[in-house]
Every structure is written in C-alpha cells, then in structure tokens.
C-alpha cells in the first residue's frame, strides 16, 4: 500500500475557507469539529445570523454542515435566557420543559406544539438565538406520557461534557487526511446471511471500517449462532462507525457489546431509532435477567451507546469517515427504520443496504425510498423472498383478521395477539381502532401489556416520521387513534387471570414469537380453551415456540410457576396473518429492484432463510440480468 505523497488535509481546507469568508467583526473565537458538524464560536454571532449567505457559502465550499454558536461570553445567564424565551415563544406552544447545555451553548425546549417554537421559516428560533445567545433545539412533548424520553434528555444533559469531548475526538478522526492511494471496497458477512437474525455486515476500505447493524438471533440454541462472528478479521477498537438500520434486536441487540469490547466511536441512526433501541436493549437485559439467561452486557454499555449515538434525519448527507459519506432514507418497516446509502471514496463506489424494508404503504408508514444519487451494489433482505411468499392485499388481510376476531368473540372466546413491541403492534392497534370506530367490531376492550404503551407513546413523539394521514390525525388530539379509550393498559401480572376469565376482549402483548414475556403467560392461561384464538401477525423465526405452533405442534412442555414441567395441550385456534407484515413480500422485493434508480450492478442477498435468499437471487438474475451473490456467514466479497 502506498501512502499518498500529498495528503489532502481537509481540516486545513476548512479553516482556510472560514478565515477567508467570515468578516472580522464576527470575532470568531474558535472552530471545532463536533462529530460530522463544523461549529464556529463567535463573540458576535449576530453578524452571521443576520447574513445567512456567509455560512451557506462556506458550507458549499467545504461540503460540510456548519453550526454557529455564541461564545460563552456572549450568552445571557440561564435564568435571564429562560425569561426571554418565555416572552418570545407564544403560550399556545405549551412549553413543558427547558434544558440548558452550557458546554456547547444549546437550549432544548420541550413543547406540545413544537411548530410554534420554531416559527415560520425558523423565525422564532432565530430570535431566541439572537436575543439570548443560546442556540435552541425543539423536542415534541408526546400526548401520551413516555417514561423513557424525559429520562434520556436529563441523562444527556448531565453528561454533556463527556458528549462534547467525544464529538470533538470523532470530528478530528473523520477529518484526518486521506492516507492511502490504493482503493478497494470489501464486504464481510458477519451475521444474518442465509438466516434471519444477528444481522451484521462489515464494509472495509483501505481507510476505514464501517459496521452495518449488530444484532442477536432470537430462538438461537447457543451463543455460537446467537451472536454475529465479530471475532472475524474485525478489530472492534479500530471500527470508524457503526450504523444501525432500525431498533429490532436482530439488528441492534449487540451494539452495546461493542462498547464492552473497547469500541469508542459513534453509532449513527435516526432519532426515533436511538430512543427505541435503548428501550428494547434495556428490556432485553431485563428479560434475560428474569429468565436466568447469560447477560452479554450491562446498562453501563447501553448508557455509553446513548452518549455515542449521532442521530441523523432522512436525506441528510454526513461524513462518517475520511472516505465515506452516509445518508439514511425511509425504509417503511418500523418507526425510524432506515435504508443505508454509503458513498465511498469520492465517487469510487456506492452501496445501498435495505435493512428490513416495506416497499408499500401501511397505515403506519410511507413506503421505502427507491431512488438514490448513485448505486453500484445493493444489499437486500429476503425474509419473504420465496416463490410462494406473495401476501394478500391489505383489504383482504384486514377483512380476514377482523373475521377471525368476530368469530372468536361470537363463540365466547378471546383473542391473543403476540406482537413485537415495535411495528406490527401499532399497525394492529390502528386496524382495531378503525374497525371499532366503523362498527366492524363490537366495542370491546383491547388490553395492551409489556412495552407496548411506552413504545406507542414514543410513536406519538415523532409524528413527522409517520404516514401522512396518521400524522394529521395525531396532530388533533380528539382524532389521535393511539389515545382511543378502548386501549387498556395492564399494569400488574395479577390482573391476567381475570382478563382471561372476564368479558370478551383482545389481548396484545410481547414477545412476538412467544419466546417469553407476558404473551407467553397469557398463552399458558388460554391455550387449553378451544374457543380462544391465537393470531400471529409477524414473522416467526425458526426455533421459536411461535414457529413450532405454526408447524402444527400441539403438545408443548412448559415450566409452571413452581418450576415443574407440565405438558400443555393446545386446543385454541391458531392463525397466521401474513399481510400486515412490515417486510416486503416477493412481489414488492422484485418491484423495488426493478424500480430502483439508478440500477445496481451487483445484488447481495441477506436476511432470509437459505431457500428464500437463493430463490430471490435467482429471480433477480432472471428478470433484471444483474449479478447476484448469496454469501454465507464468514464470507468476504471484494466489490471494487
């Protein structure tokens, strides 16, 4: 490998551009890298706030995002700033909390109507910055109370000095000079290839190492196939970035483990994913502890991950290494889910990784994006990639589902729906709410237990990310479906037997594959009554109880409360309703490849049982004449 004789010094270019363009009266005191962002501290930030064009010109020249902050000397004291903010922001915005972060001079304003804090074209925010010297950020106070969101905000506030030090060290690393002349791009399959679960992909160039996802495999028999092959040619300390596509544990469950093994870098993902993955990882630890399973990491590592996460909006282009730019696009799978676009080596190579994605509209989300600035390689999931994996239409699916619920209620039974806490649960809540409101279902209580209430609250904190119609409903409290009074939160275990013996109802609970959680406890209570129904609405991974039941197993050995094994004779009706899936079916997968713009030159298939991955790959070759690969876990492929 040859070292480039004249290394390009990005940092020097940036400082030059700033020195040349900013008028001296702004009194710049320092220029810092804060992760991928360049921050300019000035004693007279007014000069830059009044003339937007100066900052825009620099941003164009150096192709970076720039933030202007007031030097500490130019900031009003906290109490005074608070008073000014409450005078500037109209009372209808309903501010619920204000956090000041003095290490960077930012203020986070939490309000029920964030739009009114922002003002037309950002006018109100600008005014706050102008009059207080504090740069304001706005967070939505969700209409449903979340426990986690305020905890996260105050934790981050307390740890702000650590966060700033971390961002600056990352910034220096991202903007270091490019060293090597040789160029190549490889991809290593660390997990989630020819299988579903433990998704992890390593992208490597001479300059950098990027890890896409790092998940666990639910239902795995032992540690060997539960975790990705992280020991394979991967030096965790030397990773430049970890990118997380979405909050499901098969994609993010082991990210905190990386910190335990010496990782000290950034985790890039969307804002909702940052919140949701923290919640699901903490729950994963709780469940493991309760069930006496080995715990791979602790809350310490989860907290470190929170401080190391850099959240990005869809479409925001960000430098994540000296030779790699990352952009996230909507994946339509669950709240915050993203398709990853990597632009490598200034035009050398472009990779799109779909993660889990839905190429169709659902009640919850808009369909996945399919057009990108450039693409050479596509890595695509194949959960429903088999020739027979064609889902019925949404209308048929909803009708079938509502019929099952009605039939069960008529014969005096109750309906149990095991759900993943994030995604299908909210989709099904929307379907049930609509059916009750339109009279297709009687007014029955829908019991939600486990993480569902918290996850639903988090959904109402990010309405901008949801499907258009739903977003509009959430903005009007009286129409917000998640606030409907037929949803009943179950707060205590002791309520379960009464619910199962009581009035007709629907019960929704985690875990989605009956591997544990309250759903499993309800299953034990309900399984022997033939009037009841068990309805699966999401994919059941091989090795889980959900999968066994779908295969027709009806004698299930289970541990009772005293730890004795008893065999449960399953008499309840069991249904599989595929059409609500957050994954693309075979037709949607092929339509996505066909509609993709521009066309990829090579397609790598992952996240599917072997037969499905093989089948999808051969269909892609046949229809689109694109070279395909179906690597095994452990394989490495040179792309360029």
User: Among candidates 588, 330, 577, 572, which has minimal Cα distance to 431?
Assistant: 577
User: Among candidates 575, 537, 540, 526, which has minimal Cα distance to 429?
Assistant: 537
Burial of 349 (0-12, 13-18, 19+ CB in 10 A): buried
Give me the residue label for tokens 């030159």: 601
Minimum Å gap between C-beta 75 and Zn ion is: 43
Phi-psi map region of 625: left, alpha, beta (phi>0 left; psi -120 to 50 alpha): left
Shorter beta-carbon distance to Zn ion: residue 178 or 577: 577
**Under rule CB under 5 A, which residues in 302-341 are in contact with Zn ion?**
none
Q: Is 240 annotated as a binding residue?
A: no
Q: Is 476 annotated as a binding residue?
A: no
Minimum Å gap between C-beta 218 and Zn ion is: 10
Contacts of 322 (CB under 8 A, 6+ apart): 10, 173, 174, 175, 176, 177, 178, 207, 208
Minimum Å gap between C-beta 579 and Zn ion is: 17
Minimum Å gap between C-beta 383 and Zn ion is: 7
Shorter beta-carbon distance to Zn ion: residue 163 or 248: 248
User: What is residue 306's three-state secondary structure?
Assistant: helix
**Under rule CB under 5 A, which residues in 229-288 are in contact with Zn ion?**
248, 250
Calpha distance 412→465 (Å, rounded): 39
Calpha distance 305→261 (Å, rounded): 13
User: Among candidates 589, 597, 596, which has minimal Cα distance to 620?
Assistant: 589
Q: Is 583 annotated as a binding residue?
A: no
Q: Is 341 annotated as a binding residue?
A: no
Stretch that binds Zn ion, among 352-360, 396-404, 522-530, 535-543 (CB under 5 A): 352-360
Calpha distance 258→250 (Å, rounded): 15
Q: Are the C-beta atoms of 332 and 367 separated by less than 8 Å?
A: yes
Q: Where are the alpha helices (DSSP H) in 30-88?
A: 46-50, 52-62, 78-88
Looking at 356, 449, 465, 585, which residue binds Zn ion (CB under 5 A)? 356
Calpha distance 341→448 (Å, rounded): 36
Minimum Å gap between C-beta 156 and Zn ion is: 26
Calpha distance 115→140 (Å, rounded): 9
Shorter beta-carbon distance to Zn ion: residue 414 or 612: 612
Calpha distance 624→370 (Å, rounded): 16
Element (H, E) at 565: strand 565-569
Minimum Å gap between C-beta 219 and Zn ion is: 13
Minimum Å gap between C-beta 427 and Zn ion is: 13
Shorter beta-carbon distance to Zn ion: residue 210 or 335: 335
Calpha distance 487→526 (Å, rounded): 20
Give the chain's end-to-end CA distance (angstroms, integer): 16
Does 195 bind Zn ion (CB under 5 A)? Our answer is no
The token pair at 4 is: 């480039």
Give backbone dihedrals phi and psi of 243, rounded to 5 degrees, phi first.
-115, 130
Question: CA dist 511 to 338, 418, 505, Å?
Answer: 23, 6, 19
Strand pairing partners for 98?
Answer: 109
Proportion of the chain in helix, strand, coil states, percent, rounded to 5: 40, 20, 40
Minimum Å gap between C-beta 206 and Zn ion is: 31
Shorter beta-carbon distance to Zn ion: residue 248 or 629: 248
Shorter beta-carbon distance to Zn ion: residue 356 or 427: 356
Minimum Å gap between C-beta 58 and Zn ion is: 40
Q: Is 246 annotated as a binding residue?
A: yes
Shorter beta-carbon distance to Zn ion: residue 218 or 463: 218
Calpha distance 64→32 (Å, rounded): 13
**Under rule CB under 5 A, which residues in 358-387 are in contact with Zn ion?**
none
Neighbouring C-beta atoms of residue 124, cutoff 10 Å: 22
Q: Where are the alpha helices (DSSP H) in 356-467?
A: 394-410, 424-437, 452-461
By CB under 5 A, how many residues form the interface with Zn ion?
A: 3
Minimum Å gap between C-beta 57 and Zn ion is: 42
Minimum Å gap between C-beta 335 and Zn ion is: 11
What is the DSSP secondary-structure string of 213-228?
A: -----TT-SSHHHHS-
Minimum Å gap between C-beta 557 and Zn ion is: 29
Q: Is 175 annotated as a binding residue?
A: no
Contacts of 430 (CB under 8 A, 6+ apart): 363, 364, 470, 481
Q: Is 248 annotated as a binding residue?
A: yes
Cα angle 157, 158, 163 (rounded to 5 degrees) comes to 75
Q: CA quadruple 301, 304, 310, 311: dihedral positive or negative?
A: positive
Minimum Å gap between C-beta 334 and Zn ion is: 6
Interacting residue ranges for Zn ion, rule: CB under 5 A: 248, 250, 356
What are the binding residues?
246, 248, 250-251, 333, 356, 607
Binding residues for Zn(2+): 246, 248, 250-251, 333, 356, 607
């Amino acid at each position: 490998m040859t070292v480039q004789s004249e290394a390009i010094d990005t940092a020097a270019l940036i400082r030059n551009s700033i020195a040349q363009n900013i008028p001296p009266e702004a009194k710049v005191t320092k220029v810092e890298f804060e992760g991928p962002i360049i921050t300019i501290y000035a004693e007279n930030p007014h000069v830059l706030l009044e003339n937007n064009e100066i900052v825009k010109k620099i941003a164009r020249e150096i192709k970076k995002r720039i933030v202007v902050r007031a030097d500490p000397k130019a900031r009003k004291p906290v109490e005074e700033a608070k008073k000014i903010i409450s005078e500037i922001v109209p009372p209808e915005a309903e501010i619920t909390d204000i956090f000041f972060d003095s290490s960077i001079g930012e203020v986070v304003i939490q309000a029920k109507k964030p739009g009114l804090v922002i003002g037309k074209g950002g006018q109100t925010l600008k005014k706050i910055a102008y009059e207080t010297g504090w740069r304001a950020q706005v967070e939505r106070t969700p209409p449903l109370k979340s426990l986690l969101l305020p905890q996260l905000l105050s934790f981050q506030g307390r740890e702000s000095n650590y966060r700033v030090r971390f961002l600056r060290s990352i910034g220096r690393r991202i903007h270091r000079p490019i060293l090597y002349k040789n160029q190549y791009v490889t991809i290593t399959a660390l997990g989630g290839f020819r299988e579903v679960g433990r998704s992890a992909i390593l992208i490597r160039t001479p300059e950098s190492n990027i890890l896409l996802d790092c998940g666990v495999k639910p239902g795995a028999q032992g540690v060997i196939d539960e975790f990705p092959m992280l020991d394979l040619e991967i030096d965790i300390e030397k990773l430049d970035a970890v990118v997380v596509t979405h909050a499901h544990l098969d994609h993010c469950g082991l990210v905190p483990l990386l910190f335990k093994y010496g990782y000290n870098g950034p985790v890039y993902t969307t804002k909702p994913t940052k919140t949701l993955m923290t919640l699901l990882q903490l729950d994963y630890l709780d469940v493991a502890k309760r069930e006496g399973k080995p715990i791979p990491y602790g809350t310490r590592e989860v907290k470190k991950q929170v401080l190391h996460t850099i959240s990005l909006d869809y479409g925001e282009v960000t430098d994540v290494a000296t030779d790699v730019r990352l952009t996230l696009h909507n994946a339509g799978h669950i709240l915050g889910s993203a398709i990853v676009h990597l632009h490598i080596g200034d035009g050398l190579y472009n990779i799109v990784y779909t993660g889990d994605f839905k190429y169709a509209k659902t009640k919850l989300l808009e369909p996945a994006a399919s057009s990108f600035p450039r693409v050479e390689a596509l890595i695509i999931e194949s959960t429903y990639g088999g020739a027979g994996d064609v889902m019925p239409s949404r209308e048929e699916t909803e009708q079938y589902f509502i019929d099952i619920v009605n039939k069960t209620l008529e014969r005096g039974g109750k309906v149990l729906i095991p759900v993943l806490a994030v995604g299908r649960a909210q989709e099904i809540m929307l379907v049930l709410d609509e059916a009750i409101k339109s009279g297709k279902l009687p007014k029955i209580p829908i019991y939600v237990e486990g993480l569902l209430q918290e996850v639903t609250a988090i959904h109402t904190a990010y309405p901008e990310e949801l499907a258009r119609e739903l977003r509009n409903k959430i903005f009007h409290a009286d129409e917000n479906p998640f606030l409907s009074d037929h949803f009943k939160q179950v707060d205590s275990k002791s309520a379960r037997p009464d619910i199962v013996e009581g009035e007709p109802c629907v019960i929704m609970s985690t875990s989605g594959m009956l591997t544990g959680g309250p759903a499993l406890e309800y299953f034990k209570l309900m399984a022997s009554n033939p009037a009841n129904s068990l309805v699966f609405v999401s994919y059941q991974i091989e090795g889980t109880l959900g999968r066994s039941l779908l295969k027709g197993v009806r004698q299930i050995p289970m541990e009772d409360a005293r730890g004795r094994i008893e065999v449960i004779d399953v008499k309840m009706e069991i249904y599989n309703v595929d059409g609500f899936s957050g994954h693309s079916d075979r037709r949607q997968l092929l339509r996505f490849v066909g509609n993709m713009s521009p066309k990829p030159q090579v397609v790598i298939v992952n996240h599917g049982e072997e037969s499905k991955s093989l089948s999808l790959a051969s269909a892609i070759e046949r229809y689109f004449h694109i070279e395909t690969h179906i690597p095994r876990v452990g394989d490495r492929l040179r792309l360029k």
